[in-house]
Amino acid sequence: MGIWFTEKQTANFGITAKIKQTLAAVQTDYQELQMLETEEWGNMLVLDDMVMTTEKDEFVYHEMVAHVPLFTHPNPKKVLVVGGGDGGVIREVLKHKSVEKAVLVEIDGQVIEYSKKYLPTIAGTLDDDRVEVKVDDGFMYIAESERDFDVIMVDSTEPVGPAVNLFSQGFYAGIYKALKDDGIFVAQTDNPWFKADLIHQVYHDVSDIFPITNVYTANIPTYPSGLWTFTMGSKIHHPLKVKDERFTEIETKYYTPEIHTAAFALPRFVKDLLD
């Protein structure tokens, strides 16, 4: 029958994957970390029994976190990624030639360590000269920053454990302060099937702070329900008013200029969550 890993996404529903072997299983200072080699998805990073990323479908999430805000901003030079110790968002950020510096702030250094070892295609650019890696509390790092970044991306786990504070209105207010006058931020905001209340709350918390607030979606099969949302707050630039010439050619597997626009066309039940 083999060995299977199951993520219980609700009390009554989960997804399961057949594993070849457990590559690593450690209790860090913050969470339980597992690296699993799976039959279907390649190597898989699991934190506290929740799938964080897999080699097979990681590109969707990482591209959509990075490229939507980076193409919306006319000239992003300094970028902050909060969380994201696997390095996937940083990899995508570095595809933009205008970016001069990318700062990664990850609270759990062992996520970085094990991702470099077992997810090299994802974490392989963390040693790039343009990247500064800080093992630190993202909430506190934001609180101590002011008008420093063009774009901030919050690549967090679900709102449990050390990530709870990253879904608070106070955190979003800190992000607003940490952004330059034309800054943009984006955060992953879970799925509308099981976390409707979370999406509603985050959207309204961000709307209270940022004059331009939008939600967009992507299909990520190993995440709960497969339909994932991202919430963007912008001081000036609207993601649906990007000039065609802004979309320079970069190597992607999911993101395109057409997807950039289409991702903001929400299903009715998702749109209703924002009202």
Q: Which residues are catalytic?
A: 155
To the question of whether residue 31 is assigned a binding role by annotation, the answer is yes
To the question of whether residue 157 is assigned a binding role by annotation, the answer is yes
| Selection from 119, 126, 137 nearest residue 58 by Cα | 119
User: Can you state the percent helix, strand and coil of the chain, rounding each to 5?
Assistant: 30, 35, 35
Rounded to an integer, what distance in angstroms lies between the CA atom of residue 185 and that of residue 172?
Answer: 9
To the question of whether residue 106 is assigned a binding role by annotation, the answer is yes
Token pair listed for 115: 């991702």
To the question of whether residue 62 is assigned a binding role by annotation, the answer is yes
Task: Please write down the HEC assignment for all residues of 162-201.
Answer: HHHHHHCHHHHHHHHHHEEEEEEEEEECCCCCCCHHHHHH
To the question of whether residue 182 is assigned a binding role by annotation, the answer is no
To the question of whether residue 32 is assigned a binding role by annotation, the answer is no
To the question of whether residue 138 is assigned a binding role by annotation, the answer is yes
| Selection from 33, 255, 262, 35 nearest residue 161 by Cα | 33
To the question of whether residue 144 is assigned a binding role by annotation, the answer is no
DSSP element (H, E) containing 257: helix 257-262
Provide the annotated binding site for S-methyl-5'-thioadenosine: 31, 106, 137-138, 162
Q: Which residues are annotated as a binding site?
A: 31, 62, 86, 106, 137-138, 155-158, 162
Sequence ranges of the binding site for spermidine? 62, 86, 155-158
